[in-house]
């Protein structure tokens, strides 16, 4: 039994937990990584970070992602999941939309594609001259957008990047919500129908309250992902985009550590990122609790 628990736990402690703890200590030093000297500097790194305009910009960009990505992804996937599950006949047995298997399989595709490849494909789609997007747009008459650099203009770079991430995750959450909705007993829907509730009413007052926990989980996961966003952002715009408009904390941390060797400072960024992540999760739980997440809808 000791081996059963001990071996996995040892690996976990050495490679996951101990780095977390060490990072918190390193964040208080001005360590460069090349020698054993780790001058203790207290909270200097944090002070430095809050006076670093580019880092604060990256914090802002990360927070923008954490605000918009979960909302957009969850709403879009919830709408699609609702269409699949209650688009069926209003007579007889409660049924989903006919022939929706195809949509479910296709929608899930982006989730199985490596994030790097999603980034590469979309960088090509956004390409000003030979990209698919401008090809389609000029094809239908928007000639003004000919060779418009979607990722190269500070006004659109962030939005264009968000579209990519949403594209990558809507299908996954759609499948998750479909599964959750199917877990609701059919009697509940039948009762609602007998009481005269139409589809829209059923969706807003029965389905959504009943899968509230799933929505909360999805929201938190998507937020954590948005605060990371490293792969997408660094593949779409490796240097942080025009005027740093798509630079996120994770990218800044990575270059600070592995290009500039300011390991103490990078660890401080990691701590800030972790704090924001925890704060985000706590906020979502709190809002859900305040707005009545634990109320029993069947009452």
Partner 1 sequence: MSLKLSKKTPAVHGHVERKSQETKGDKVVAGVSHTMLGLWSLMVLIPLLWTLMSSFKTTSEIFASPFSLPKVWQFKNYVSAWNTAGIGLYFFNTVIVVGFALVIVMVLGSMCAYVLARYVFPGHRIIYYLMLAGLTFPIFLAIVPLFFILKNMGLLNTLPGLIIVYVAFALPFTVFFLFSFFKALPGEIAEAAQIDGAGEWRTFFQVMLPMAKPGLASVAIFNFLGLWNQYLIPVAINTDPQKKVLSQGIAAFAGQQGYAVDFGSLFAASVIVVVPVLIAYIIFQRQLQGSVSAGTMK
Span 254-293, contacts to partner 1 by CB under 8 A: 254, 257-258, 263, 266-267, 269-271, 273-274, 277-278, 281
**Cα(111)–Cα(167) distance, integer angstroms:** 9
CA atoms 42, 43, 47, 52: torsion sign:
positive
Nearer to partner 1, 83 or 208 (CB): 83
Interacting residue with partner 1 among 75, 124, 204, 287 (CB under 8 A): 124
- The residue whose two tokens read 């390991």 is 263
How many residues contact partner 1, by CB under 8 A?
Answer: 110
Check binding of 184 to partner 1 (CB under 8 A): no
Nearer to partner 1, 24 or 64 (CB): 24
**Cα(213)–Cα(105) distance, integer angstroms:** 24
Burial category of 4 from C-beta neighbours within 10 Å (exposed 0-12, middle 13-18, buried 19 and up): exposed
Interacting residue with partner 1 among 47, 54, 75, 120 (CB under 8 A): 120
Check binding of 186 to partner 1 (CB under 8 A): no
Span 151-170, contacts to partner 1 by CB under 8 A: 167, 170
Span 20-59, contacts to partner 1 by CB under 8 A: 20, 22-23, 26, 33
Nearer to partner 1, 54 or 278 (CB): 278
Residue 8 phi/psi, 5° resolution?
Answer: -60, -40
Give the CA count within 13 Å in the CB-facing half-sphere of 121. Answer: 12
């Amino acid at each position: 039994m000791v081996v059963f628990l001990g071996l996995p736990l040892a690996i976990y402690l050495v490679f996951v937990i101990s780095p977390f703890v060490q990072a918190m200590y390193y964040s208080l030093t001005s360590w460069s990584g090349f020698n054993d000297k780790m001058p203790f500097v207290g909270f200097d790194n944090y002070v430095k970070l809050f006076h670093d305009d580019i880092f604060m910009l990256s914090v802002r960009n990360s927070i923008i992602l954490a605000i918009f990505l979960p909302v957009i992804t969850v709403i879009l996937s919830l709408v699609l999941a609702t269409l699949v599950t209650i688009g069926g006949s209003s007579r007889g047995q409660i049924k989903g939309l006919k022939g929706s298997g195809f949509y479910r399989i296709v929608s899930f595709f982006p989730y199985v594609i490596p994030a790097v490849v999603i980034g590469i494909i979309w960088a090509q789609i956004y390409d000003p001259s030979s990209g698919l997007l401008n090809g389609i747009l000029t094809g239908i008459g928007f000639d003004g957008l000919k060779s418009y650099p979607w990722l190269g203009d500070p006004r659109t770079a962030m939005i264009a990047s968000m579209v990519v991430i949403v594209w990558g995750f809507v299908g996954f959450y759609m499948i998750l919500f479909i599964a959750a909705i199917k877990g609701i007993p059919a009697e509940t829907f039948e009762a609602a129908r007998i009481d005269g509730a139409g589809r829209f009413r059923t969706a807003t007052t029965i389905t959504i309250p009943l899968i509230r926990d799933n929505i909360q989980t999805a929201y938190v996961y998507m937020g954590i992902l948005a605060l990371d966003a490293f792969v997408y952002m660094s593949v779409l715009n490796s240097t942080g985009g025009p005027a740093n408009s798509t630079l996120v904390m994770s990218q800044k941390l990575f270059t600070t550590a592995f290009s500039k060797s300011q390991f103490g400072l990078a660890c401080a960024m990691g701590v800030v990122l972790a704090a924001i992540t925890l704060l985000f999760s706590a906020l979502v739980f709190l809002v859900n609790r305040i707005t009545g997440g634990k109320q029993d809808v069947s009452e």
